[in-house]
Amino acid sequence: MTNLMIRIYTGGEEYPDTTVKVPGKILKIASAIIPRKVSDALTEKGVDIKEILKLAENQEVKGTLIEIEEHGKNEKMIISLE
């Protein structure tokens, strides 16, 4: 299983404001302890973490899954499997 990476950028910054890395071996368990800020942001964007967990089980799936940009808020979220 691959690692789940969630990066949240704010204010047009080059580097993420928040980075969450969940190791693939504990992904199913760790999904319950993803920081509230990130979990809320995922839900707000309509991202289903359960579907991402299914994708993470496939070793052939790697790279960026979702990139969401909110231009009005100057925010960007990137979800990837690495």
State which H helix or E strand residue 58 sits in.
none
Task: Point out which residues pair with 66 in neighbouring strands.
Answer: 79
Closest CA to 30 of 68, 58, 4: 4
The predicted structure's pLDDT at residue 1: 67
d(C-alpha 35, C-alpha 52), whole Å: 16
Asked whether the predicted pLDDT for residue 66 surpasses 80, the reply is yes
- For residue range 4-54, list pLDDT tens digits in order: 898 999 988 889 999 988 888 888 777 677 777 777 877 888 888 778 888
Largest CA distance in the chain: 37
pTM comes to 0.78
Residue 49 burial (CB < 10 Å; 0-12/13-18/19+)? middle
Report the amino acid identity of residue 78.
Answer: I
